[in-house]
Amino acid sequence: MPTNSPLRLGERIVSVKTILRCCLLSLVSCRVAGQMTIPQSWAKTTVNSTRQQRIDIASAALDMVWDRGFGADGDVTVAYYSQLAEFDIMANQTKYEARVNSYFLDGPCETDRVALHVAPFQSSSDDFLPYCHRYHVTSIMNGYAAARAYAAYKNEQVLDYAVRAWGFEKNYTLLDSGVPPPFQNSDVEEAFSTARNQCEGKFGKFYPKADMVTSENGRFLRLSGLLAEITQNNTYLETAQKSANLMISHFYNDESLLRWQTTINMSNPCQIVTNDKVDPWNAGYAIAGLAILSSVSPGNETIKQRLKNTIFAATSSREWHDGQGMMTVGSNKIGDPELLFGLFTAYARESADSALSSYLQSYIANQYNAVLDHATVNGTNIYGSAWVGPPSTQYSARSQISAVRVLVAGIGIPSAAAETPPPPSSPGSPSSPSSPSSPSSRKSPPVGGIVGGILGGVLLVVLVGASMFIIRRRRRHLSRSEEPITPFRGGLSGPEQTQIRSTSGAIPRGSGRNRSPGIESREYHLFPSQSIYVPSQSSRNEMSTEELVQMLNQRLQSERWNENEQPPSYVPGAG
C-alpha cells in the first residue's frame, strides 16, 4: 500500500493523537505533583515552639474571650464554643468539657428558645428566610459545634443536638425525594419537578427566590460529612455526596474557586444565574466538607482531585495573600479563619498524601507565625483581625476568635524544635506569645514536586518511546504483508535485471560471456519470499563444499517440487 494512502495517513494521525494524549496525561500528573511544592517566598513555614507552649498560648487567648465577652453576634458565640471543643481535641484534655456541654444542654437545644448569649439571625432582605425561621443560620453552625463537641467528650445528648440541628437544616435543602416543607407550594413544586426531570436534578439550599448560597451548602456538606463520620449512617453520607455533587457541578468557576451565589429562575429552572464573586470562607467550607467526605468515602477520586484543586487555588490566590503567603483578605488585609480551619481539617485527614500534608503544614505554620509576630502585642493576649499587623490593643470578640482558630490549629502541627518541657510560666506571661517565632525559618525542600517531576518525566519518555516502537513495528509488519507476491518475476532493475525462464523454476546458467563490461559475472533469481544468490559457473568452481551445500539448501527451501518436471540428466564427470 502506498505510504501516502488515506488508510496509512489515518493510522498515522491516530498514532500521533495517542502519543499526544499520553504526553498530556503525563504533563498533568507532573503539574498536580508540582502544585504541592512549598513556595520559597512563604515567610515562616515551620513552628519552633514546643507543643505545650502552643497549648498555653491558645488557652490564654480562649480565656480572654470568656473574660471579655462574646458580643452580640450569634455566629461568633458558636465559633467560640466549637473552638473550646477543638482545643480539648488538639490538647487531649477535657479542660472546657463542662462549659461546652452546658452550652448545648442548657442553651439552644430547642428550636423555640435560644440561650440569652446567642443572638438570633435576622435579615430584612428577601434573599433570606422569613423572620419566623430565624434559627436557620445558627442551627447549622451549632450543629457543627455539637458534632465537634461529641468528638471531644462523647456525650450522646450533644450528638442528639447535632442530629436535630441537621434535620432542621435539611428542611431547607432541596433533595431528590421532594420539596422541603417551607416551600411546598404550586410554583416551587412545578420548578422542582422541571429541575429534577429536565435539568439533571438541582440540589441545594433554597430561599424564597430560589437562591442557593454557596456558604450554606458548604456548611451543610461539612455537617453531613461529620455525622457520617461519627455514626457511619449512609443517610448522612448520601446527603453529603449529593451536596458535593451540586457544588462541583454549579458553584465552581474555572479557577477552582467557588462563586458566592447561584440563583435558579423559578419560571425557568434550567436557567441559572451566578454571582461570580469569590470569598475565602466559601473555599474553607468546601475544603472542610470535601476533606471529611473524602475520608469517609476514600474511593472517590473525583472528590479527592477537586479537594486538591480547591486547596491549591485558595492558598495561591494573590487576591487573598501577600508576597510572603500570609492572608490579607480585602481592603483591611485581614485573615480568614474559615479558610484556615478548612485547610486544617484537610491536613488532619489527608495524612496518607505526604506531599499535600507537607504543603498544608507549611501553610498553616506560616499563618500561625504571622498571628504571633504581627497580630498581637506581647503579654496582652489580645489579637487583631489583621494577621500581618499592625496589632490592636482594642479587644474585639470577632477578631479574637478569628485568631484563636489559628492558634488552636497550630497545636496540631509538628514542631521543628526539640520537644522539651517549657519553663514554668503562666499562660498570660509576656514570654509565651513570643517564643514560637524565630528570626529565621528553614524551608522544607520541595520533595513532592521533585519526585513528581522526575516520575512524570520518566513516564513521558517511556510513553513516547513505547509509542514510537509500536508504530515502527506496525509499519514493518504492514510493509511485509503488503509486498506483491509475483512468483518468478525479476526484482532488480537496470543492467543487472535477471532473465527468468517461463517454463521452469531452474536457475539459468551463464558463463558471463554475453554481459556488458563492468558488470559482475553473476546471476540473480527472485523467489516469492526471498532472493537467492546463484554464482556463475566460473565462480562455482572456486566455492567450497560448505558454500555449495548452503546454496542447495536455500534452493530446496524456496522452490516447490513439480511432479511433471523431469529430474536433470546426469552427466558423468560434471561438476
pLDDT tens profile 132-161: 333 445 678 889 999 999 999 999 999 998
pLDDT at 71: 74
The DSSP symbol for 444 reads P
Average pLDDT over residues 27-46: 73
Helix (H) or strand (E) holding 275: strand 268-278
Burial of 59 (0-12, 13-18, 19+ CB in 10 A): buried
Cβ atoms within 10 Å of 183's Cβ, excluding its own: 18
Average pLDDT over residues 112-121: 32
Whether 287 has a pLDDT exceeding 70, the answer reads yes
Which range is least confidently modeled, 98-112, 477-491, 533-547? Answer: 477-491
Q: Which residue has the higher pLDDT, 317 or 475?
A: 317
Q: Give 354-359's long-range contacts (Cβ < 8 A, gap of 24+).
A: 354/448, 355/33, 355/36, 355/447, 355/448, 355/449, 355/451, 355/452, 356/36, 356/308, 356/311, 356/448, 358/36, 358/38, 358/444, 358/447, 358/448, 359/36, 359/37, 359/38, 359/311, 359/315, 359/448
CA angle, residues 314, 388, 315, in degrees to nearest 5 = 10
Which range is least confidently modeled, 48-52, 76-80, 304-308, 554-558? Answer: 554-558
* Grid cell 523454476 in the structure block, residue: 505
* Grid cell 498570660 in the structure block, residue: 428
135: left (phi over 0), alpha (psi -120 to 50) or beta: alpha
Q: Which residue type does 461 have?
A: V
User: What is the rounded distance in angstroms from the CA atom of residue 161 to the CA atom of residue 151?
Assistant: 13
User: What is the rounded distance in angstroms from the CA atom of residue 191 to the CA atom of residue 195?
Assistant: 6
User: With bands split at pLDDT 50, 70 and 90, how would you rate the model's confidence at 556?
Assistant: low
User: With bands split at pLDDT 50, 70 and 90, how would you rate the model's confidence at 269?
Assistant: low
Whether 570 has a pLDDT exceeding 70, the answer reads no
User: What is the rounded distance in angstroms from the CA atom of residue 273 to the CA atom of residue 171?
Assistant: 24
Contacts of 229 (CB under 8 A, 6+ apart): 292, 295, 296
Helix (H) or strand (E) holding 403: helix 397-411
CA-only gyration radius of the chain, Å: 39
User: What is the rounded distance in angstroms from the CA atom of residue 152 to the CA atom of residue 35?
Assistant: 34
The DSSP symbol for 131 reads G
pLDDT at 490: 43
User: What is the rounded distance in angstroms from the CA atom of residue 90 to the CA atom of residue 360?
Assistant: 17
pLDDT at 213: 60
Please say whether the beta carbons of 244 and 295 come within 8 A. no
Q: Concatenated DSSP letters for 492-561?
A: --GGGPPP--SS--SPPP--STTSPTTS-SEEEEE-SS-EEEEE-HHHHTTS-HHHHHHHHHHHHHHSPP
Q: Which of 79, 77, 186, 182 is nearest to 131 (CA)?
A: 182
- Range 288-313 burial, b when 16+ CB lie within 10 A, else e: bbbbbbbbbbeebeebbebbbbbbbb
Whether 116 has a pLDDT exceeding 70, the answer reads no
User: What is the rounded distance in angstroms from the CA atom of residue 365 to the CA atom of residue 360?
Assistant: 8
- Name the residue ranges covered by the structural domains of the chain: 171-317, 450-483, 494-512+520-557
Phi, psi angle pair for 178, to nearest 5°? 160, 180
Q: How far is CA 267 from CA 189, 211, 498, in A?
A: 12, 13, 87
User: With bands split at pLDDT 50, 70 and 90, how would you rate the model's confidence at 520?
Assistant: very low
334-358 pLDDT per residue, tens: 999 999 999 999 999 987 788 999 9
Average pLDDT over residues 111-117: 32
Instruction: Write out the three cell numbers for 429.
Output: 506571661
Helix (H) or strand (E) holding 226: helix 214-231
| Cis ω before 390 (30° cut-off from 0) | yes
Phi, psi angle pair for 101, to nearest 5°? -65, -35
469-515 pLDDT per residue, tens: 777 776 666 665 555 544 444 444 444 444 444 444 444 444 444 44
User: With bands split at pLDDT 50, 70 and 90, how would you rate the model's confidence at 456?
Assistant: low
pLDDT at 72: 65
Average pLDDT over residues 373-395: 92
Mean per-residue pLDDT of the chain: 71
Whether 555 has a pLDDT exceeding 70, the answer reads no
Contacts of 156 (CB under 8 A, 6+ apart): 150
Q: What is the CATH number of domain 171-317?
A: 1.50.10.20
pLDDT at 250: 73
Contacts of 446 (CB under 8 A, 6+ apart): 37, 38
187-234 pLDDT per residue, tens: 445 554 555 444 444 434 443 444 556 677 888 899 999 999 999 999
pLDDT at 503: 42
pLDDT at 190: 52
User: What is the rounded distance in angstroms from the CA atom of residue 316 to the CA atom of residue 7?
Assistant: 48
Whether 104 has a pLDDT exceeding 70, the answer reads yes
Whether 561 has a pLDDT exceeding 80, the answer reads no
Rounded to the nearest angstrom, the gap between the alpha carbon of residue 83 and the centroid of all alpha carbons in its chain is 28
Which range is least confidently modeled, 24-33, 96-105, 156-165? Answer: 24-33
pLDDT at 191: 52
- Tallying the residues shown for the chain, one arrives at 575
* Grid cell 498553616 in the structure block, residue: 364
pLDDT at 479: 60
Q: Which residue has the higher pLDDT, 161 or 423?
A: 161
